Amino acid sequence: MDVFDVIKGRRSVRRFKPDPIEESDLEKILDAGRNAPSAGNCQPLELIVVRNEKIKRQLVKSALGQSFLAEAPVVVVVCANVSRTSNRYGKRGAELYCIQDTAAAIQNMLLAAYALGYGTCWVGAFDEEAVAKSIKAPEGIRPVGIIPIGRPAEKPKAPPRISLNEIVHENTF
């Protein structure tokens, strides 16, 4: 699939078939995250692959009851290892770069998953402390996103986007 087809075709999927994910596919998806750019190549990314049903249920609870999370055979909790970036870039590294880096990794993973025929949804609405507790995240490991991955059981329509001419500015705002 052409990169532009992948970018345009990907949708947030919130219904999943129970079919397992091929291990080789999962590795490709995680590796797409690993290959994302990061500030100063500090690579703050940490990926927790959750298949355990009890932990999945805890994640649902921590994510405002978004039960579709637990429908997916695999749920990846994407974390920022903050000090990897803040050691070099201080406050800006801790507050901005490591979040941007993990966001870039998440998008790479969503696109890779779609290209391989899987559905995903970027889940950001959750109680960070509760998620950190469920995955036993040590101090300084900040959960920034949760991605359920599975074969899609729905084909959502593209939601509207603001037109390019409303957001593109020439030279100055």
Ligand X SMILES: Cc1cc2nc3c(=O)[nH]c(=O)nc-3n(C[C@H](O)[C@H](O)[C@H](O)COP(=O)(O)O)c2cc1C
Pull the structure tokens for residue 104: 């870039």
Question: What is the b/e burial string over 21-56, where b = at least 16 CB atoms within 10 angstroms of the residue's CB?
Answer: beeebbeebbebbeebebbeebbbbbbbebeeeebb
Rg (C-alpha) for the chain, rounded Å, is 17
Q: Which residue, 89 or 122, is less far from ligand X as judged by CB? A: 122
With respect to ligand X, which residue has the nearer C-beta, 166 or 170? 166
What is the residue whose two structure tokens read 């201080």? 90
Give the residue nearest to ligand X (CB).
124
Contacts of 89 (CB under 8 A, 6+ apart): 39, 40, 42, 97
Contact set with ligand X (CB under 6 A)? 11-12, 14, 66, 121-125, 156, 159
User: Smallest distance from the beta carbon of 24 to ligand X, in angstroms?
Assistant: 25
CB closer to ligand X, 11 vs 84: 11
Residues 165 and 157: their CA atoms lie apart, in Å, by 23
Tell me the closest approach of the beta carbon of residue 124 to ligand X, in angstroms: 3
Q: Nearest approach, Cβ of 23 to ligand X (angstroms)?
A: 26
Q: How far is the CB of 44 from ligand X (least distance, A)?
A: 17
Compare residues 24 and 163 and give the one whose CB is closer to ligand X.
Answer: 163
- 66 or 86: whose CB is closer to ligand X? 66
d(CA 39, CA 95): 12
Q: How far is the CB of 122 from ligand X (least distance, A)?
A: 4
Residue 80's DSSP bridge partners are 45, 142
